[in-house]
A and B are shown apart, each in its own frame.
Chain A
């Protein structure tokens, strides 16, 4: 069974940068750039913030950036702001659509 593993929680202070990792148990993730990231505020639908590892949809701040190395994808948020406090989910295709377990980001 393939899985995407994220840290359960992270925290940072305003202005800092943080990186959320997403590690796949299957080597298939490293083959293609099929990684996307979603931000979810409490009670709201997820919002796409990155696709194809590092592409930002129109309207998404350039403070959000992505990268991938081997079976690990990463989301970096620079210049942390209070509104960045949310849950973040990675997603990839590994013999089916898979989501990571989510990371709760707290802005101190």
Chain B
């Protein structure tokens, strides 16, 4: 049974750095792309970025300048860091397992429980 469990700080001030970690249980870390997706309150889903076991990453162009996704394969964990946050970054952040077709990640079959991150002064 694949499970993703995530954690991280839930309340940040503007200009601080958002940091979340997701642990993968019941699955090999290799062979998939591990993904972050967010959902502002009352709004839709936004793909943030992904990483694989080799450390290869793909980022949403709109967030790339502030975004770092990293992985610790020895722990089967991957992390998200988003710098210089503003109120617009307030959202529920999800980690998920991405499935690939060629070079394209195109669906997400296992999700973490979500972490609400609020940015407020």
Contact = CB atoms under 8 A, between A and B. Distances in A.
Interface residues on B, range: 10 to 19
A97 B44 contact: no
B108 A93 contact: no
Nearest to B97: A48
Interface of B: 44-47, 60-61, 94, 99, 101, 104-109, 111-114
5 contacts: A45-B114, A48-B107, A51-B106, A100-B44, A101-B44
3 A-B pairs with the lowest CB-CB distances in the bound complex, closest first: A36-B107, A97-B47, A45-B111
A63 to B, nearest CB: 19
A99 interface: yes
Interface of A: 32, 34, 36, 38, 45-48, 51-52, 57, 89, 91-93, 96-102
Contacts of B114: 45
Given A34-B101, A96-B60, A96-B61, A48 B108 contact: yes
